[in-house]
Each structure stands twice: as C-alpha cells, then as structure tokens.
Structure 1
Amino acid sequence: MDEKTGIKRSRRSRSINTIWISVSIVLAGLYVIFGPLNYPKLGKDSALPNKGHAQSSFRLEHIYRHGIGTYPKMQVLEASSEVIESGKARFSELRTAQEGSDSAANDDIWTSSPHYATENPLDHKFKLSLEPQVLKRMLYRDPAFVESYLDYAHENPHMASKVNLDWIDETVLVPNISDKETVVSLALMSSNAYVKLPHTGDWRNVTGPWNHTENSGHGWDDDGIRGHIFVDDEKDIVVIAIKGTSAQGLTGSGEDETTVNDKINDNLLFSCCCARVSYLWTTVCDCYLKSYTCDETCLEKELRRKDRYYKAVLNIYREVVQRHPSSTIWVTGHSLGGALASLMGRTYGLPVVAFEAPGELLASRRLHLPMPPGYPNYLEGIWHFGNTADPIFMGTCNGASSSCSIGGYAMETSCHTGKQCVFDTVKEKGWHVSLLNHRIHKVIDGVLEAYEAPARCVPPGPCHDCFNWKYVKDSSSKTTSSKSQSSTTITRTTNTITSEPTNTSCVGRNWYGWCTEYGL
C-alpha cells in the first residue's frame, strides 16, 4: 500500500508540475504577444477622446541652456514669479532703449501685432488647438535605447540598415496646423526662445557639480543652445521651443549671444562639405579631400560630436522626458532652431512645426536617423512653414555674391523632411527675395498674421542636395587599398616572381565580433 500511495503521490506531483509549466508557457506567450502594447508611451491616450479638436493654454514653465565646447554643462531655470517680474523689467528696458531707433531689428523683441501685444513675453499665454493623428513611430523610444542605436548606426551604417526596428501606428495629439491662431502661437513660442533673459534667477545644475569660478560670467552664454519649455494647464502636453541662429550677418536672427557656435553648426549642418565653398573659406571640419570630393565618414563623425548642437538638443529632450514622463511632447523652432526641432522629431517620432528652417534632409541622412521601411518621410508629423521670399528656407542663399556667403554662412541645402507649408509672398505680395524676410517677426506680422489662413501643407517635390559632390566612405582605408593594388599590378608587369598572399586574418574586431581590420 505504501508503494502504491507513493506512486500516486509522485504521479499527482508530476501532474501539478506539468500544469504549472503549461500555465507558465501560456502566460509567457501572452506576454510576448501583448506585452509590447503595454509599453509606456510619451503621451496620455486617455486624453485623446476628450482633447481632440480642443484648445489648450500654454505658459512658459522652465528654460534649459546647454553649454558647448568650453562649458559643456546643462542648467535649468524655473519660470518663477521672480524670474517673470525680472523678465518684464528687462523687456521694458530693451524696448525703451530701442524706441526711436531705425534699426532693422527694431521689432525683434516681440511681434507688433496688437492681438498678441504684451508687456512681458515670458508671461504670455499661448493658445493652441489640438487634433488626433496617427503617426508611425518606433515602439521603444526611450532616449537610452535610441541613442545607443544611433551610436551603433554611426559606427556601422551598413549593419544598422539590416536591423529591423519595431514600428507601431499610434494615435497622438498634434497641433492643428490648419488653425491660424495655433500656427501664430507656435511661431511666437519660437520667437520667445530669442528673448533676452533677465540677469536674476537661480539656474539649477542638471549635469553635475557646477564650478562657479570656471563657468560664471557672460562667456558661458556665448557657447550654447537654449530651449524654452511650455506646458499646458493640464500638464499633459509639453512644447519645446529651440532657439535659432544668433548672428549680425543674418539680419533679424535674434540676439547676438551664440554667434560663433551657431555659425559652426549652421555651416556643418547645411553645407555640402564643411563649408568648403572656395579655397578662401576656412572650413569647420577637415573632411574635404579635393575638388567636389568629401569624406562622408568624417562628416558623420563631426555631426555626432558631443560639442555639436544635435547632441545638445538630445540631452535637453532627455531631461524634459524625465521631468514629464507621461506627457505628449511637441517641438518648434525658427531657422536653425527649426532644423534642430525637425531632427529631434525625426529621432523620437515627435510632432514638429518649424518656421523658415534651412533644408535638413541631408543632415538627417548623415545622422542615420531611424526611418520606417517603405514609409515616405512626408507622412511624418513634421510641418515646415516658410515663404518664397526667404532665400534660406528656399535654399537659394548661396553663391559668392549672396548675403549668406558674405556673412560667412554656407547655406547650400534646400531639401526638407515632412511636409512644406509655403506662402508665395513673391507672387502674391510682390516681395523681393531678401534675408529680411527670414526674420521671425517679419514672418509673424507680414505672413502668418497677414494671410487669412495658414498655407496648405503638401509633400515636397523631387529634391537632391549637393548633386555635384562625390562622397566617399573612409578615405584613408580606400587610399591604402588603392596603393596596394597598384603595387601588385607593377609586380605582374615586370614578371617578377613573388608569392602573392592568398589568405588574410582578422587583427581587429569591435565589441560585437565584426572584423574591422585585416592582416596578412
């Protein structure tokens, strides 16, 4: 009896174990199938039915500034009542100083439209209309994952093209670009990023201890980029406005704080090869090889350097996501800020509205930004607003006699990602092509406010930048290979009996085992 009882207990135990194993397998299968659908998104889906085609009010909540070069730190300034009041005094001071001035930049402080008149741009309340739209985005958009993929794609572009990323169709809230007030408000947010900040306020360190001896004074502001963060009343939608180019050479481009680094990044992002226009130009990188020939690998490395603006805006986005983990995030900007906003949107699948931005399609390809396979880029949530009298937006501000070249800017690109919303001010208003029409407040007052409705957004036509340039990959290794092949040919011609190597061995591998260097 004891033996039979033991056998029954053993069978019962095995049956229970079998049941648990079966249940575990089923649960694991369900997790694999449905688990990714529960991945935390950057927006609140529950808000979609209630906020579709609604209007929300936004205010400035905080400001990020990211140092570049000598000051590679990042700080954040809360838009407290003290900062807001100081901003009002600063705005009044600047406006009084410019009264009676005939300077072309006289209206660069704020728009002259009475509908948006304010005594303090930092305290202005922006009204934006929203609407739901389906966007195809990466399933996993955590900054750590995305940046690791970009690093891998930069080091191994051919292998990265074979990586199958997970993409989903996701309904998100986007700005209603057919609403005039929404478009004007986003343009005002972009101009808000140019506003000179008060000298008071407690900037809090984000990236580690701050050395006040080394990183104090006006010099820190000369080497960085700034992002103004606006949040709606419900705290579920965040707008990042990125500051554009500051330069005396580009009329009306904003304050003159970050001229040097702005010019470097402009020439790196929007030129064919390191701003190599002629032998008289000083290039911003060493990727130029010979006449109309450029080292593409070198260019990609320059764009991904940590002291470039693209890396800085990714760091700002990372901080905003940590602070608003469940909010929908939009991005906007003017000129260089608009191009950086578009690159950020392409990286993380964010809705973007850019104003008068130079062509950034070439830069997005050089950065190997993720793109859904077989998916045209004009179906992304990126909208470029511009006018035909702006040579920077149209890609015609180049050539030896152009204003951009005279100012030291090689603006050679014209192709945009996303959709283009173009006002034909040359034909409909009789405007002449001029850099004055690139100014953000000329665009707001003379274009966005003057027209009854926003321009219709359409896919861009066929476009190809730098068609007369030749780009080579890793020129150093190709040169070595060419020399070796030439030497072998000479040996065969002279009929010298030599033993040609038939086998090679790998002498260098990267972290995942791919051979990067061969030896005999």
Structure 2
Amino acid sequence: MDEKRGMTRHKRVKSVGGLWAIITVFSTSLYVYFRAQHYSKTSVPEITTNQEPSPGSFKLQSIYRHGVGENAYMQVLDVNDEVLKAAKVKFSEFSMSSLEADNELWSSNSNYATENPLDYEFGLSCEPLVLKRMLYRDPEFVESYMDYAHENSHMASKVHLDWIDETVLVPNVTDKKTIVSLALMSSNAYVRLPHTKDWRNLTSPWNHTENPGHGWDDDGLRGHVFSNKRQDIVVIAVKGTSAQGLAGSGEDETTVNDKINDNLLFSCCCARVSYLWTTVCDCYVKSYTCDEVCLERELRRKDRYYKAVLNIYKEVARQYPSSTIWVTGHSLGGALGSLLGRTYGLPVVAFEAPGELMASRRLHLPMPPGYPNYLEGVWHFGNTGDPIFMGTCNGASSSCSIGGYAMETSCHTGKECVYDVVKEKGWRVSLFNHRIHKVIDEILETYDAPARCTPPGPCHDCFNWEYIKKETSSIAPPTMTITSSTPTTITSEPTITSSCIGRNWYGWCTEYD
C-alpha cells in the first residue's frame, strides 16, 4: 500500500512539474510578444543607392553628463556660442599650464590644430551595410527584456525575439580620414569643460540654488554628441578612463568611479587579484571561485556606467528620433560604446578598448541565434604595443596592477583592426601606447590606410575561474519556489521530503528517490 501511494505521489509530482514548465515557457513567450506590440520599430532613415557617400562635416551639438551614486542625475549642456567662447578660454589656459593636460588629449598634428577642440569640424564618410538587428528596439522594450533575462537567465534563451536584416549607414572603416576623425571625437570627450550654469537638468528633483556651477558632484560618465547639418547621422563619443599615466587623460573628477567600473567590467571577479586588493563588489566566494549572479547584478546597478550610457542613449534617441546613431570612444569609453552598440544594434568604432566580450555575456545582451558576433557592426581599433588592448596588462608586476587596475580580459566582440607597431615600428609594449593622442599622431596618421579589420581568433577570458550561481532567483510560479543555487533544489506543494535523482534538460526534477 505504501509503495502504491509513493508511486502515485511520484506521478503526480512529475505531471505537476511538467505542467508548470509548459505554462512558464508559454506565458514568458506571450509576455514578450504582447509587450513588443506596444512599441514601434525604431525609425531609420531610408537608404537609397544615390545617397551621398559623405554625410558632410560634423560638429559638437551637446554634452551629456550622468552622475553616479545617490545623486545619479543627468544633465545636458547645449553647445552654443557662449559655451564655445568659455571653452576656448579654458582650453587656452590649460594649454599654457605646466600640466599641459588638454594638450595631451588633442592631436599635436598641425593638420588638426585648433584653438578650441569643442568647435572643431570633423569629416566622416559612410557606407551601407546589412546588419541583423532586433525588430523592436525601443529602449523601454529592450530594457524590459534585459531585466527579465537578468532575473531569469535560465529562461532567457527560451524567449524568441524577432530579428530582421536591415541596411544601415555605418562608418567607412577603410577610410583614413573617417577613422582619424572618430578618434578625434573620442579625444574630444576628454577635454575639460568650462564651468557654466547653462547645464539643463534631465532628471528631477534638482536644486539649482544648492548646487551652483556644475550642479552636483562632477563624478560620472560623459557623452559628447555630434551631428551633421542634415542631422541624419549622430555620433555619440563616450568618455574613457581618467587616471594618471593609464588612459592618457590625466587626473580629473571622474577618476574614482572610472577605476571602479574598469575593475568591475574587465576583471575576472570584482578585482580580486590577491588578498591584498580591495574588491569593488562582494561576489568573491573562495580561491578562483566567484558568484556569477552577484556579478551580473553589480554590472546592472543603476550607479554603474553601463546603466548610465543606456540613459544617455535614450535621451539622444529621443532628441534625434529619425537619425542613424553611431557610437565611438577610447579605452573604457570604447568598451561602453561597444556594449551600448550590442544592446541596440548600433554601429560602433572603438579605440584601444579592453576586452568587453565577457562583460557582454554577463549582461545577457541580446544576440541573434546562430549569428557570429564579428558581423555585428562593431570595430575595435588598437595596436600591439598597447597592453590594455592586447589583454596583457595584468600580473603582480604590471603597470596596471601597480596602479590598482585589474585589467584581466582580452577578448573583444565584433572585428579587430590591429596595427602591428611592435613588428613594423619596433615599439616596445607600454602604457604610453594606450594614450589617445599618441594613437592619433603616431599610428593613425603615419599609416597610409587603416588597419585591416578581421574576426578575432579563439579567445577565452578567466579560464581558471569557476563561476557558480549561488543566489536565489526572485521570480517563480505562484505555488513553486525555484532556488538557483548549486546544487539546484526545487520544492513544490505538497512538500517532498525525498531527494531528487533525475532532472530534465532545463533543470526541473522529474524523479524522486
């Protein structure tokens, strides 16, 4: 009798578990499908065969700044004649100072000489390229999907997104002038800004009287927005790391949080290099073991730079709803630009960016099934003399480690466009080769043509680390609790006191002892 009752209970549990699995997958698909119906496809300018190959000259239109921490406000500065006049005075003062910080950030080549980098005109050329992108790319829909994927990583792969092949205008990466101009835009994002009260607040509340000048703590992320006269193409240049001797920008107010985000994005586990290091998050478990769920949550925090760059993009997309948007940046700015581009299917040209492939996987960025990532419209320009780009700036004696930076990644998304300066110029590997002004003046300008862009070779970051799912998922069926710890346990009503001895391919218990 007891044996029969046990068999009946076993069959009932199997059927209930299977039914809940079907309901969960079906309801998830319905949620994503109907949520997408509320959002229209992001408008893209129609591309015709007789369209101009050159979109004309680009000028800085506005500067966005996103704070971090408790005061994570976002502001925008419209670049008008008054702002340009103040910027010219400030740039002149720094150029004549003993530090010459801004002079290092702008090209010393006479072809690009200017009294004011914020008033410089950039020439770019473009070409059409077919990219596979999500049909629905409205920021609200994309972020709702990513929130779900973050909370339910084991279910995200079962959600089928709609993908389309779309012809998009992208930067001509074989044109030298275009690559140099994008690099100059990236360096433009480092230029120190004039203190002005003309910043407009994009979040609320915000008290102008308590925060004169810049508005709040200057720490945070910046994005410089350029457009041509037709405003059919917009370029966002994301500011990179500010750190003495590391990213080529000298020290400024963003140094502390730049370092935190560098160590979070490009280390194997919260910059846990040894017991002597202060980690940037609490995800370290034990020797070469890290909590993957904790890491993903840290990257998605609202006070991290990835969330900030998404917010900046949303404002730019709202300001230019019918424009094609490109992204560029140097170092950390290039990596953030790449993550932004992969999120929304935007063309990206990055310079000397650390490997960001591991971060893109931890963020669960949408990826078309069966589609190689080197066809995504992301191009990484770098040189073999830069240890940060090459992923060799690690180890106890490295310059990065001495400076407190755990730059442990080397794998990039998209294509790599590498200048072999070690072999062709006889350079030694040095952090000086990471500086944006040296890249422009001594690499991009001296070569006859841009480096050839090719798919990256086989690459695997942090191969000696084990990543476990230690924490509990917050979303579960009404009568069922799913705990994503290791080993995974599932309890259902009525309570089963026996142990699970068989699971199906997606982790549900199908047989009990």
1:359–1:395 contact (8 Å) kept in structure 2: yes
Q: Which residue of 364, 377, 383 corresponds with 1:381?
A: 377
How far residue 237 of structure 1 moved from its aligned partner, in angstroms, is: 0.5
Q: Given the superposition, is the C-alpha separation of residues 302 and 500 from structure 1 closer, same or farther in structure 2, using an over 3 Å criterion? A: closer
- For residue 445 of structure 1, give the secondary structure of its aligned residue in structure 2: helix
Alignment of 1:138-287 (within 5 A): 138-212=134-208, 215-216=211-212, 220-250=216-246, 252-287=248-283
1:150–1:369 contact (8 Å) kept in structure 2: yes
Long gaps (5+) in structure 2: 1-32, 473-482, 501-506, 509-513
Distance of 1:139 and 1:217 partners within structure 2: 42
* Larger gyration radius, structure 1 or structure 2: 1
- Deviation track 1:257-308 (CA, whole Å, cap 9, x = no partner) reads 2011001000000000000000000000000000000000000000000000
Q: Which residue of 117, 123, 127 corresponds with 1:121?
A: 117
Q: Given the superposition, is the C-alpha separation of residues 321 and 374 from structure 1 closer, same or farther in structure 2, using an over 3 Å criterion? A: same
Q: Given the superposition, is the C-alpha separation of residues 261 and 416 from structure 1 closer, same or farther in structure 2, using an over 3 Å criterion? A: same
Distance of 1:447 and 1:236 partners within structure 2: 30
Distance of 1:480 and 1:411 partners within structure 2: 29
Alignment of 1:38-49 (within 5 A): 40-45=41-46, 47-49=47-49
Distance of 1:218 and 1:246 partners within structure 2: 18
- For residue 61 of structure 1, give the secondary structure of its aligned residue in structure 2: strand
How far residue 175 of structure 1 moved from its aligned partner, in angstroms, is: 0.4
| Equivalent AA in structure 2 for residue 171 of structure 1 | T
The structure that is helix-richer by fraction is 1
How far residue 216 of structure 1 moved from its aligned partner, in angstroms, is: 4.4
Distance of 2:234 and 2:431 partners within structure 1: 31
Instruction: Report what 2:16 is aligned to.
Output: none
How far residue 116 of structure 1 moved from its aligned partner, in angstroms, is: 1.0
- 1:69 aligns to 2:69 (yes or no): yes
2:245–2:431 contact (8 Å) kept in structure 1: no
Alignment of 1:486-501 (within 5 A): 501=497
Q: Given the superposition, is the C-alpha separation of residues 282 and 441 from structure 1 closer, same or farther in structure 2, using an over 3 Å criterion? A: same
- For residue 298 of structure 1, give the secondary structure of its aligned residue in structure 2: helix
Instruction: Report what 1:350 is aligned to.
Output: 346
Alignment of 1:5-20 (within 5 A): none
| Equivalent AA in structure 1 for residue 265 of structure 2 | L
Distance of 1:249 and 1:483 partners within structure 2: 49
| Equivalent AA in structure 2 for residue 43 of structure 1 | V
Q: Given the superposition, is the C-alpha separation of residues 63 and 462 from structure 1 closer, same or farther in structure 2, using an over 3 Å criterion? A: same
Distance of 2:307 and 2:102 partners within structure 1: 33
How far residue 207 of structure 1 moved from its aligned partner, in angstroms, is: 1.2
Q: Given the superposition, is the C-alpha separation of residues 201 and 48 from structure 1 closer, same or farther in structure 2, using an over 3 Å criterion? A: farther
Distance of 2:402 and 2:159 partners within structure 1: 44
Instruction: Report what 2:5 is aligned to.
Output: none
How far residue 500 of structure 1 moved from its aligned partner, in angstroms, is: 7.6
Distance of 1:176 and 1:215 partners within structure 2: 43
- 1:308 aligns to 2:301 (yes or no): no
Q: Give TM-score scaled by structure 2 length.
A: 0.84
Distance of 2:314 and 2:456 partners within structure 1: 30
Q: Greater shift after overlay, 271-280 or 86-95?
A: 86-95
Distance of 1:78 and 1:309 partners within structure 2: 22
Instruction: Report what 1:131 is aligned to.
Output: 127
Distance of 2:456 and 2:401 partners within structure 1: 26
Distance of 1:206 and 1:214 partners within structure 2: 17
| Equivalent AA in structure 2 for residue 51 of structure 1 | Q
| Equivalent AA in structure 2 for residue 250 of structure 1 | L
Distance of 1:152 and 1:443 partners within structure 2: 40
Instruction: Report what 2:56 is aligned to.
Output: 56
Q: Given the superposition, is the C-alpha separation of residues 307 and 216 from structure 1 closer, same or farther in structure 2, using an over 3 Å criterion? A: farther
- For residue 108 of structure 1, give the secondary structure of its aligned residue in structure 2: helix
Alignment of 1:404-419 (within 5 A): 404-419=400-415
Instruction: Report what 1:440 is aligned to.
Output: 436
Instruction: Report what 1:81 is aligned to.
Output: 81
Distance of 1:251 and 1:345 partners within structure 2: 22
- Deviation track 1:301-331 (CA, whole Å, cap 9, x = no partner) reads 0000000000000000100111100000000
Instruction: Report what 2:393 is aligned to.
Output: 397
| Equivalent AA in structure 1 for residue 83 of structure 2 | V
How far residue 364 of structure 1 moved from its aligned partner, in angstroms, is: 0.1
Instruction: Report what 1:368 is aligned to.
Output: 364
- 1:288 aligns to 2:298 (yes or no): no
Distance of 1:39 and 1:50 partners within structure 2: 28
Distance of 1:39 and 1:106 partners within structure 2: 43
| Equivalent AA in structure 2 for residue 321 of structure 1 | A
- For residue 170 of structure 2, give the secondary structure of its aligned residue in structure 1: strand
The count of aligned residue pairs is 453
- For residue 444 of structure 1, give the secondary structure of its aligned residue in structure 2: helix
Instruction: Report what 2:90 is aligned to.
Output: 90
Alignment of 1:92-111 (within 5 A): 92-98=92-98, 107-111=103-107
1:173–1:328 contact (8 Å) kept in structure 2: yes
Q: Given the superposition, is the C-alpha separation of residues 208 and 51 from structure 1 closer, same or farther in structure 2, using an over 3 Å criterion? A: farther
How far residue 249 of structure 1 moved from its aligned partner, in angstroms, is: 4.7
Q: Greater shift after overlay, 245-254 or 85-94?
A: 245-254
| Equivalent AA in structure 1 for residue 75 of structure 2 | Q
Q: Greater shift after overlay, 144-153 or 207-216?
A: 207-216
How far residue 371 of structure 1 moved from its aligned partner, in angstroms, is: 0.2
Q: Given the superposition, is the C-alpha separation of residues 214 and 294 from structure 1 closer, same or farther in structure 2, using an over 3 Å criterion? A: farther
Distance of 2:486 and 2:163 partners within structure 1: 41
Distance of 1:453 and 1:116 partners within structure 2: 18
Distance of 2:303 and 2:214 partners within structure 1: 19
Instruction: Report what 2:445 is aligned to.
Output: 449
1:127–1:182 contact (8 Å) kept in structure 2: yes
- For residue 378 of structure 1, give the secondary structure of its aligned residue in structure 2: helix
How far residue 423 of structure 1 moved from its aligned partner, in angstroms, is: 0.1
- Deviation track 1:482-518 (CA, whole Å, cap 9, x = no partner) reads 999xxxxxxxxxxxxxx982499xxxxxxxxx99xxx
Q: How many percent of aligned residue pairs carry the same amino acid?
A: 73
- Deviation track 1:445-482 (CA, whole Å, cap 9, x = no partner) reads 01000111000000000000000000001257677869
- Deviation track 1:172-213 (CA, whole Å, cap 9, x = no partner) reads 100001000000000000000000011125000111231235
Q: Given the superposition, is the C-alpha separation of residues 481 and 140 from structure 1 closer, same or farther in structure 2, using an over 3 Å criterion? A: closer
Alignment of 1:14-33 (within 5 A): none
